[in-house]
Amino acid sequence: MNKVETSFLHKNQFGDDFLWGVSTAAFQIEGAPDTDGKGRSIWDVFTSQKGKIKNGHHALTACDFYNSYQNDIDLIRELNIPNFRFSISWPRIMPTGVLPVNEAGIAYYNKIIDSLLSAGIEPWITLYHWDLPHDLEVKGGWTNRESVSWFSAYVAVCVQHFGDRVKNWMVINEPSVFTGAGYFLGIHAPGKKGITNYLKAMHHVTLATTAGAKIIRNHIPDAHIGTTFSCTHIEPATTSSKDVEAAKRVDTLLNRTFIEPILGLGYPQADLPVLKKLNAYIVEDDLNNLSFDFDFIGLQCYTREVVKSSLLIPYIGAELISAEKRNVISTDMGWEVYPPALYQVLKKFNAYEGIRKIIITENGAAFPDTLKNGKVYDIKRTHYIQDHLEQILKAKKDGLAVDGYFVWTLTDNFEWAEGYNARFGLIHVDFDTQQRTIKHSGLWFKDFLS
């Protein structure tokens, strides 16, 4: 590979202990939905329903990571990336969501872990990245309080089989996104709607997060345990008190609702009154069981949102003003490109006393890439990553703690309701041939990490 244009950034500026990695998720890359005894997940079902995914895309093959994982692990090594974050598909190892275990599923993840370790790459496991076993959804999924026990049993299986070699664990990925999109808005699996489904799911997912973390701690005393949150810098559209209050409610919903109970602060009901409805689902010891002393918190930040007050929007009384309406530069997801958001988010989460360590477990961008003469010149993505790394340096200079950065993501993949339209990868995938091409951003990252 040729050397690529470099910026003034240098890996050493971040310190020797800074963690560099790349993140993925099972459903977005694996394909093989029913191979070797895998059960169906809510996303297998959702993607098979008409009109749910743009252009009718599905994830039956996705990036074929199930079969081509060795090739992709070789690429991670080629890019000099020392840490690989991936998720376990719950229905691959427990097809109905509960025991018995599917030995072929366990064998599959053992192969991945062993292959990573022999390539000198550290495995980072996310236990839940949205692909709940469908059979559990039939029983209510996350709206059923039993989901905490189902999840606990699944975590116990994972730590028992993988805990001898894997030290880095993340319990749940972006709870605010999958409960909001999947249980309130109905635009993600399982396609449920309404405040009751949402609040029940929120509480059970939070209980499951700490229950899962405790199980990891008990089985693997030296585990490095985290959980990951989507977070967005929120700004009011104007300085009017209405907009400022609206922005505060949106900030509470998107950034505070899931982390604060885990830090022992309870749900932020004072700043978002609809959360008081949660009290109907909180029983006896729940408040004591909601907190856990995580070794690290994973933050996943892509953009900022600008908010105005709107009486038309129930529960939150606020509206996001889209990047398009604001006429600002945005990605293929319609998200504004605004690197200072990362600095602001770091500042915000650094202010919580209970957080021991922060790792940026996702950051990246979807742009329309074109493959020309065997190359993808995705300079916008390269700059996006560089500009966000600059913000991390600024944060460090200002004394804010941040200990790692994982790019979202390795290869272009199945971007949920957006299908394959939104390409986030450092590596381009031709979804007809599964041909991989390292993009300019990937080559830059490789040079940077060398």
Which residues face 309 on adjacent strands? 318
Query: How far is residue 346 CA from its own chain's centroid?
Result: 17
Three-state secondary structure of 268-311: CCCCCHHHHHHHHCCCCCHHHHCCCCCCEEEEECCCEEEEEECC
Measured distance CA(148)–CA(295) in Å, rounded: 21
Task: Work out how close the CB of 160 gets to ligand IFM at its nearest, in angstroms, rounded to a whole number.
Answer: 26
122 is catalytic: no
At 58, give phi and psi (nearest 5°).
Answer: -140, 175
Task: Work out how close the CB of 381 gets to ligand IFM at its nearest, in angstroms, rounded to a whole number.
Answer: 13
Our CB check for ligand IFM shows the closer of 25 and 262 to be: 25
Task: Work out how close the CB of 241 gets to ligand IFM at its nearest, in angstroms, rounded to a whole number.
Answer: 32
* Crossing angle for the helix pair 340-350 and 379-397, to the nearest 10 degrees: 40
Contact 420, 57 (CB under 8 A): yes
**Closest to 377 (Cα-Cα) out of 291, 450, 318, 442:** 442
Our CB check for ligand IFM shows the closer of 28 and 102 to be: 28
Contact 46, 190 (CB under 8 A): yes
Tell me the DSSP string of 209-277. HHHHHHHHHHH-TT-EEEEEEE--EEEESSSSHHHHHHHHHHHIIIIITTHHHHTTS---TTTSGGGGG
Measured distance CA(264)–CA(291) in Å, rounded: 5
At 285, give phi and psi (nearest 5°).
Answer: -85, 0
Our CB check for ligand IFM shows the closer of 27 and 163 to be: 27
Our CB check for ligand IFM shows the closer of 72 and 362 to be: 362
**Max Cα separation, the chain?**
64
Task: Work out how close the CB of 415 gets to ligand IFM at its nearest, in angstroms, rounded to a whole number.
Answer: 5
Measured distance CA(293)–CA(356) in Å, rounded: 8
Our CB check for ligand IFM shows the closer of 146 and 324 to be: 324
Our CB check for ligand IFM shows the closer of 260 and 415 to be: 415
Q: Check 260, 305, 319, 362 and give the catalytic one.
A: 362
Helix (H, G, I), strand (E, B) or coil at 407: strand
Task: Work out how close the CB of 334 gets to ligand IFM at its nearest, in angstroms, rounded to a whole number.
Answer: 11
Contact 97, 136 (CB under 8 A): yes
Task: Work out how close the CB of 237 gets to ligand IFM at its nearest, in angstroms, rounded to a whole number.
Answer: 24
Report which residue's Cβ sits closest to ligand IFM.
25
Contact 397, 351 (CB under 8 A): no
Our CB check for ligand IFM shows the closer of 414 and 444 to be: 414
DSSP 418: G
- Residue 145, Cβ neighbours under 10 Å: how many? 15
Task: Work out how close the CB of 408 gets to ligand IFM at its nearest, in angstroms, rounded to a whole number.
Answer: 5
Task: Work out how close the CB of 183 gets to ligand IFM at its nearest, in angstroms, rounded to a whole number.
Answer: 16
Which residues face 318 on adjacent strands? 309
Question: Which tokens hold the place of 88?
Answer: 């376990």
Task: Work out how close the CB of 258 gets to ligand IFM at its nearest, in angstroms, rounded to a whole number.
Answer: 14
Provide the binding-site residues for ligand IFM, judged by CB under 6 A.
25, 28, 174, 300, 362, 408, 415
362 is catalytic: yes
Our CB check for ligand IFM shows the closer of 137 and 415 to be: 415
Q: Check 174, 260, 319, 390 and give the catalytic one.
A: 174
DSSP 79: T
Question: Which tokens hold the place of 399?
Answer: 């004394």
Please identify every residue annotated as catalytic.
174, 362
